[in-house]
Structure 1
Amino acid sequence: MTSPIRDLLATLSRHSEVIEQALTANVLPDAGATVAAISALRQVSALRAAGEEGYRLHPRLREYLFDHLQLFPAYQELAEIGSKITQVASLWNEIELVRSSTDTEAIDSLTESLYTTIYDIADNMDGNVLWLQTLMSTRFGNVRSAVAKKSQNRYYQQQSATLAQDLARLSRMVANVERDAAARGMHDLARFLRRSCLMRILGWQQGLSEIQTEIRADLYRTREIEKNLKQLSRMDMLLQQQPAWQGFSATLDGDIPDFLLAASLPPLDPHVEPMDHDRQIAEELESLALALPPRRQAHAEEEQKKRYTRIVDEDEPVVESPTAMALSRLVGDVKATAGPRGLSIVEWRARDAHAQTMRPDVWLVFAVVGLRSHHLRVELVNDLPEVGEKFTHTFHDARAYGFHAAAAGAGVAASMDRGLQGIDV
């Protein structure tokens, strides 16, 4: 059983020599390529018309072959991401509009398209940074003159500036989509955007900034070279117009001029090498050791002298905060509770003035942590799961149990375990 993909690859394989010829020049029917081969490649969109009779290779296929063969043209255009950024924003708007309906298939299709677009943006950015780094390592090759090199630098300076603007727009747009997705409960999409795009944007921006700085420095060096070449050409023209002139003459009857003398090195400071076994070095080391001052003898009084003074601060009275006093009373009430339902922390707060000084949500978390630090059993009263979810993430109250209630609960659990031991699951 065949498929369009297999037929396409088979056609490219049969006419690989024509594709190789079209990679470097236009293909003509009478230049070695048969009409049948050109017709077959035209049917699979591998060749496109170039003029009245010639044909050229598909640009994306040419780009793929150049990437595979590591062939970099002098003015290769960077892969743009501006249209894909707009596509991501449009896809997210459609997802928000369709999400209110029950058409899950449409939502999955839009989400998959958004994933693919983000992957394409990441691949294009990785390729752009790699291509620019390759240009920097080869000093912008594939040029034959200083004028062409300067033109190439200006071209990639403009390309990198446009790419930097698209990166800034991508950062703002993806951050907004990630925040909206997290707020609407689409945590998988938000996590994907953080891992695949947001975490990599900073590295792309830093790499692009370094490349732009290097391009500006290279343009400055090119201008300096052009200025030096212009001065050198003027001097050459002067010498050609006056062939009898012998250049600058210097009188060497007296002292030699300073500009003909090499710069003198700083004076050397010799030192003794302790590992040298030469007899002169050993004598020099012995003389240096004898010239050292005598070692200072430590006196017993100085060793016994007190070198520090202990300072003891007076104990300050500890002022207990209202929340700490409320927690102490809560611990006492929980320990005195023996009922099986325990004690509600939210209801207890409504009866205590000190506990009401804190916000209800802050007090609830503070009381749960404090009671558990006193080894008391505390169970959270969870909220119902949100629509479309299986698990809950929030709670609105907690019930604390005293030692008697905890022991009773443990006894019931032990009896249930003994009863379940005889049941074959």
Structure 2
Amino acid sequence: MSTGFDRDAQEFTRGASAIVVLPDMGGSARDADARLEETAGLALAIGVDVRHRVPFRVRAPKPGTLIGSGQVDQLAQMVRDEDLQLAVFDAALTPVQQRNLETALGCKVIDRTGLILEIFGERARTAEGRLQVELAHLDYQAGRLVRSWTHLERQRGGFGFLGGPGETQIEADRRLIRDRMARLRRELDAVSRTRTLHRDRRQRAPWPVVALVGYTNAGKSTLFNRLTGADVMAENLLFATLDPTLRQVSLPGIDKAILSDTVGFVSDLPTQLVAAFKATLEEVVSADLLIHVRDVAHPDTAAQASDVEAVLREIGVDDTTPRIEAWNKLDLLSEDDRTEMLGEAAHREDIVALSALTGEGVDRLIRTVGDRLTEGHRRYRIALAPEDGASAAWLHAHGEVTDHWVDDDRAFYDVRMAPADYDRFLTR
């Protein structure tokens, strides 16, 4: 199943000459230029050749075209003058608006949701990722059959389970989409059950799970690679990471923890994608600690942080889940801004200023994560038989052994660990 643009437009998706349009309806906390740049970056991420970025002030959205008729004429002239093939709207277009704009402009039109779906379709690598993208795309495309399919006016007679007498092609197509979506949801439910089993197994171990979350292109994968020595794709691209990656890491006071790199969030993330990616994002929901990676060099960093928190609430992350903010990309700041960021972070236990690219501040982040995960740990003195190497290894694996000595044929261990782990040790 193809994802993204209509099937008749697939041949010019990559390399298409395009104009990015921002219908500015006011009330946004975001800078218009930054919003245009972000949407252009989304288009560039799938190889679109962005020729122009145009903001339009929209006082009253038009039901048929969203923007005003004069603005439509202006866009149509630009499309004709430069033979543009694509208009990307940083807005959610209804099927009617999309069809009317395509007719008026004489080129392909795609909205923000369709653009993000196209990127996800290109970037998904695992079978699970492809299932999630296809489900989201089918949900989105179901309302656009009138616009994108050419055979919908035909009718066909009944063929038993294929449809009753006189069923139109569009009704049949919608039913086929519903059936396919139901199958995809069953497959994703199976994936979700498997993830739950894996999580239950980890929790019995138990290893704490730390999830990296943040706006797309905030530097999560670069930080993940820095912390784990992995080689996850980390490029200056929006949505470079779609499929979740888990790696084992060692932290101060914790022999083993699981670090999870997740899909980046974005403003106005399509609801279809939030629903489809819930199986993946369950790693975030069940995490013991969240590291919210922020690009503090971005002009809209505060608005991006608000968008991330909104998505976290939408997927069911509890406000009580401990979190640390990693103020990333110090290397891109001016000296004055950098000094200000470092000064502010120094007085906050929940903020670490760093550069995942250069490594500055990463050691402090590791210490802070270890401290946060071991909060509430207590000190215990445990006596073992000197030959009981298995129990000694267990203590090293699940706690922090701060001292060890042998006296009167007994081996003594001073250990910092969670009370739950101490109880588990006693029941071994």
TM-score (norm 2): 0.23
More helix by share: 1
Highest RCO, 1 vs 2 (Cα 8 Å, sep ≥ 6):
2
Pair member with larger Rg: 1
More strand by share: 2
